[in-house]
Amino acid sequence: MYKDGIRVVIADDEPITRMDLKELLSEEGYQVVGEAADGFDAVEVCKQCRPDLVLMDIKMPLLDGLSAAKIVYEENLADTVMMLTAYSEREFVDQAKDIGVAGYLVKPIDEKSLVPSIELAVARSKDMKKLRKDMQKVSERLENRSIIEKAKGQVMAQEGMTEQDAYDYIRKLSQTKNLSMRRVAEIILMKSGGQ
């Protein structure tokens, strides 16, 4: 089943809400790995547990849920954060969207919509995470290519080689020195001061 293995942290200053949610989630096959009563504790529990999902109340003492959620995302402490709140004001929804919160549940929580809401939010977060990773790889590839192209140009100018010969030279160095082509290109550029 999809929800098995999803590790959850519940952050709410109301013990009864935490208890109800824990019971509901456990019955549905989720693994509640931590609880917190304020935003600071929520961040600390997330640091220790690295959960898949955090259900975080907006209004909490010391550090509110939105601020805690922002820290959780910035420090990559959980994949998905969903806000719990008795307030459905536009201002909170907009702030939650800006932070990257994946879902918003209004209290009292409707048991029938809890699991579908969680599953959609977790799936969307996984898709976004994969997309970010893919974008990072593409960006890295482009950067590598750009550095290799500069080094190739440098080799062509200094050694009077053709473009293909310069590329083969960098590739051969990469293989014999057991370094990435990017690293070889960086060294060539450093050596010639052309970076």
Which pLDDT tens digit goes with each residue over 22-64?
999 999 899 999 999 999 999 999 999 999 999 999 998 889 9
Q: What angle do CA 77, 82, 99 make, to 5 degrees?
A: 70
Element at 148 (helix H, strand E): helix 111-159
Cα(50)–Cα(63) distance, integer angstroms? 19
Average pLDDT over all residues of the chain = 89
Q: What is the 3-state secondary structure (H, E, C) of 159-177?
A: HCCCHHHHHHHHHHHHHHH
pLDDT digits (tens, 9 = 90+) for 158-185: 999 999 999 999 999 999 999 999 999 9
Can the peptide bond before residue 108 be classed as cis, meaning omega within 30 degrees of 0?
yes
pTM here? 0.70
